[in-house]
Amino acid sequence: MDKNTLLQVWPIPAFDDNYIWCIHDGKSALVVDPGDSAPVLEYLEKANLQLKGILITHHHADHTGGIFNLLNALGPKIPVYGPVGDNIPGRTDIVMEGDKIEIDSPRLSLKVFEVPGHTLSHIAYFANMQANVVEPMLFCGDTLFASGCGRLFEGTPTQMSQSLAKFAALPKNTLVFCTHEYTLSNIRFALAVEPNNVNLISWAERAQELRQKGLPTLPTTIGQELQVNPFMRCDQAEVIASAKAVSDQTDLPTPAHVLAVIRAWKDRF
């Protein structure tokens, strides 16, 4: 098979709302955050794909729980990439900020970002400027969601703000492969923050149509999120005004201060 065969990315549904992303060239595959092995094994067999690697963004069980079963079923020598500092079952390769992962099959080069917030050691994987990648791709785990961001279980609002700023600097056409179908609930909250955002209102209608048809709302794009995601719009007037209104704070001097308010608001929404 030609090394430059265009890669495909397929969502494998798991649990209630997880997506395990399968990156493949029609023959060889990688999977991202396999919390459950059964749907992965089923899809690999159905699509006649050989698993060549596992990418882990963070340590939560719904992202790691299927690793051992996959290794037991398909071979213990499959590399498992994951962040430093976390107990990742079966991890063979620790990666950190700025690392490049070169995978031969499927042919893929990935850059690693450290994006603490949801967890302290959370990472994301970014692919760009490759012959077999039409659009840049970001596999961001639970840091960024369509119209939302991850809950701050371990990190701080400042860390999350800095992590989202890394994503905001990526090309606007970057496809964003989040790992949960949280979009409709995220949109409901985003509309509470920015009720006058016309891009968000339009996206709400489109996302509802997709879900009614049983289709994923993902991937999203960085450009889309910069228009509709309040957590990536913490420098915008309406987001700041809403944060001040719900917190009775008159001084929110940085995007991180705004994010802290709206993330706490989202937690109780």
197-211 pLDDT, tens digit each: 999 999 999 999 999
3-state helix, strand, coil in the chain (%, to 5): 35, 25, 40
**Helix, strand or coil, per DSSP, at residue 176:** strand
pLDDT digits (tens, 9 = 90+) for 4-21: 678 999 999 999 999 999
* Dist. CA 154–CA 136, nearest whole Å: 29
Q: What is the pTM of this model?
A: 0.96
Q: Are 64 and 18 in contact (CB under 8 A)?
A: no
Task: Report the phi/psi class of residue 15: left, alpha or beta, with left for phi > 0 and alpha for psi in -120 to 50.
Answer: left
Angle between helix axes 37-47 and 67-74 (nearest 10 degrees) is 40
Give the pLDDT confidence score for residue 44 in this predicted structure.
Answer: 98
- Closest by alpha carbon to 18, among 156, 177, 179? 179
* Dist. CA 246–CA 262, nearest whole Å: 8
Mean pLDDT over each residue of the chain, to the nearest integer: 96
